[in-house]
A and B are shown apart, each in its own frame.
Chain A
Amino acid sequence: MATRQTQSLAKIMRAPAIILLLIWMIVPLGMTLYYSFLNYNLLNPTQTSWAGWFNYQYFYTDPAFWDSIWNTLILVLGVLCITVVGGILIALLIDKPIFGQGIVRILVISPFFVMPPVAALIWKNMIMHPSYGVFADVAQFLGMAPVDWFAQYPLFSIILIVAWQWLPFATLILLTALQSLDGEQMEAAEMDGASALSRFIYLTLPHMSRAITVVILIQTIFLLSIYAEILVTTNGGPGNASTNLTYLIYRAARLNFDIGGAAAGGIIAVVLANIVAIFLMRAVGKNLD
């Protein structure tokens, strides 16, 4: 509600942001769509031709594609399980009356601010290296043979690194939700004879459900595009054992110079991300009114 003068001014002030984002959305996506129907290889750009659905068919029949979809799913679900369950537990713990709560919070949140390549390198070399890592030191101390994590459990290792990066995010958001829980409500439930466990199940969890949903959806968006962690640690290997969809497309575009194929993969990634996005937008949209 405002006067016409304000409204027309508002239109001018909104315009730059809208136009920029419109271009950012339409132009590259349109190009990707176009390329996805071309036989176009940067090594052989003169032989570009119309490919029809070939690139999509190629992806569909390529075992590496299905591996990558499967890996993407395991990666996303594995990290979500660890971060949500871990996040709830840690949030409950930090919310208890403890000494030095502020410092504990800072320590727990820190991994989130570590850039992905650094996080991956720290874990790869300092922690999980088969001869010099801390895990190897611990194994030796316990008299066990050290594990070559990235060779033997490549996907699990990446899940571990990514979970470490996102655990703080989940914890922080769930803690924020937890702290907005009405104390009187809890006391009322206690007066009503509810045990600590049933108070958690019937009051705390429902109160946090919205935050949990938000955590799952936002993380999924980011987890679908995990890239640097794979590049730095396993390069997607051994074989395709730790290649997710993002990495597969990157490899097609940058290592095989297959523009058409990479574009088709990109469109598939958009479809996947949109399925998640629809749910996220609903959750966020409810909060707008």
Chain B
Amino acid sequence: MGAITLQNVRKSFGDVEVIPGVDLEINEGEFVVFVGPSGCGKSTLLRLIAGLEDVTSGRILIDGQDVTDAGPAKRGLAMVFQSYALYPHMSVRKNIAFPLKMAKMPEAEQKARVDRAAKILNLDSYLDRRPGQLSGGQRQRVAIGRAIVREPAAFLFDEPLSNLDAALRVNMRVEISDLHNKLKTTMIYVTHDQVEAMTMADKIVVLRAGRIEQVGSPLDLYNSPANRFVGGFIGSPNMNFIEGEAARRMGAHSIGVRPEHWRMSTTEGAFPGTVGVAEHLGSDTLLHVELDSGENVIARAEGEFPVHHGDKIWLTPQDGRVYKFREDGLAA
């Protein structure tokens, strides 16, 4: 249960083509993350899978069945919305039970399922409260609870953590991953945050302007980005790009080096530069360096690296850690 196939799916709003054509295979039980900058079409793609929007052309299959023209209720999917979309006039229990009530499930079964979900999500003591009386994290859990009681073929998450504060976001990330490990149900998760994508996904789908740039496991994308865009999008801080003479010498239009892949020296190296801002975090050191050739790059050293603003520094890429790109942006 829960294999989803998109075949040449296109979507336009009026004259604006949001998704020019996407083919994608999502395997049963996979945790797939759609990631990309805002406006890249990732949420639209999710809503097309959910059935909340019609596809302009193409087909959507769930477990081999064509659901392109089926309404959202008929697809057996559950969704967790960015705003949680809880029903404010219903108690937590009624919120979670709502899809079961719509499916006309017997009361006893409803109660059993809600209780089970509440236990998994630590909501037992809040079942009689209204959503308005809950914290952001608790609301999030209620929204997830409402999704899991249906035992859907797949879960759809639309930027579910973007309304939470940073600390809570890390916790919920772990909880959702945990949930996936327990339920082993297909999950499709939309985010603009590449850290969420890297930490949670079995498979990442990088989107830009409605097109898939690359599909792969987190480490695939990290180690061999298909193009400059993916290289720059995955990894934090962002990959440094250097064009011009230095790149040409390596036989590329531009080269990319991740901040953590520089060797630093105060005496010698490939790229001389001057330290701008130095961020000493204890666990590592982030250096904003202006190279003598004019580019600004970021370098990260593990632990403490004792340089300060205005110091001279030399950076050298680690062996085999230089990404080469052609003029059209594709990996060379």
Contact = CB atoms under 8 A, between A and B. Distances in A.
Interface in B275-297: none
A3 B70 CA distance: 11
A1 B13 contact: yes
Interface in A1-26: 1-5
B53 A1 contact: yes
A3 B53 CA distance: 5
Which of A3, A4, A5 has the most C-beta atoms of chain B within 10 angstroms of its own C-beta?
Answer: A3
Contacts, number: 11
Interface in A77-132: none
A5 B71 contact: yes
Interface in A119-178: none
Interface residues of B, number: 6
B13 A3 contact: no
Contacts of A1: 13, 53
B51 interface: yes
A80 to B, nearest CB: 42
Interface SS of B by simple majority: loop
Contacts of A3: 51-54, 71
Contacts of B53: 1-3
Contacts of B51: 3
Contacts of A5: 71
Nearest to B51: A3
Contacts of B54: 3-4
Interface string B1-22: 0000000000001000000000
A2 B51 CA distance: 10
Contacts of A2: 52-53
Interface in B19-53: 51-53
Interface in B67-84: 71
B75 to A, nearest CB: 12
Nearest to B13: A1
A3 B72 CA distance: 10
A259 B130 CA distance: 62
A1 B13 CA distance: 8
Nearest to B52: A3
Contacts of A4: 54
B18 to A, nearest CB: 10
Nearest to A7: B54
Nearest to A4: B54
B54 to A, nearest CB: 5
B135 to A, nearest CB: 27
A162 B319 CA distance: 87
A5 B72 CA distance: 11
B13 to A, nearest CB: 7
A174 B51 CA distance: 46
A176 to B, nearest CB: 25
A210 to B, nearest CB: 29
A50 to B, nearest CB: 49
A4 B13 CA distance: 12
Nearest to B55: A3
A3 B71 CA distance: 9
List 5 tightest A-B contacts by C-beta distance, closest first. A3-B54, A4-B54, A3-B53, A1-B53, A5-B71
Given A2-B52, A3-B51, 9 more contacts: A1-B13, A1-B53, A2-B53, A3-B52, A3-B53, A3-B54, A3-B71, A4-B54, A5-B71
11 contacts: A1-B13, A1-B53, A2-B52, A2-B53, A3-B51, A3-B52, A3-B53, A3-B54, A3-B71, A4-B54, A5-B71
